Amino acid sequence: MLNQNVKVTPQDIINSKNVVCEKCDQEGKFSDKFQNVFIIKKISSLLSPNGKEMHVPIPVFACVECGHVNADFLPDSQQSPLDG
Q: Which residues make up the interface to Zn ion (CB under 5 A)?
A: 21, 23-24, 31, 63, 65-66, 68
The H-or-E segment that residue 54 falls in is strand 54-63
Nearer to Zn ion, 24 or 39 (CB): 24
Main-chain dihedrals φ then ψ at residue 35, nearest 5 degrees: -125, 155
Minimum distance, C-beta of residue 35 to Zn ion, in the bound complex (Å): 11
Minimum distance, C-beta of residue 57 to Zn ion, in the bound complex (Å): 22
Asked if residues 64 and 70 have their Cβ atoms less than 8 Å apart, the reply is no
* Residue type for position 41: K
Minimum distance, C-beta of residue 3 to Zn ion, in the bound complex (Å): 33
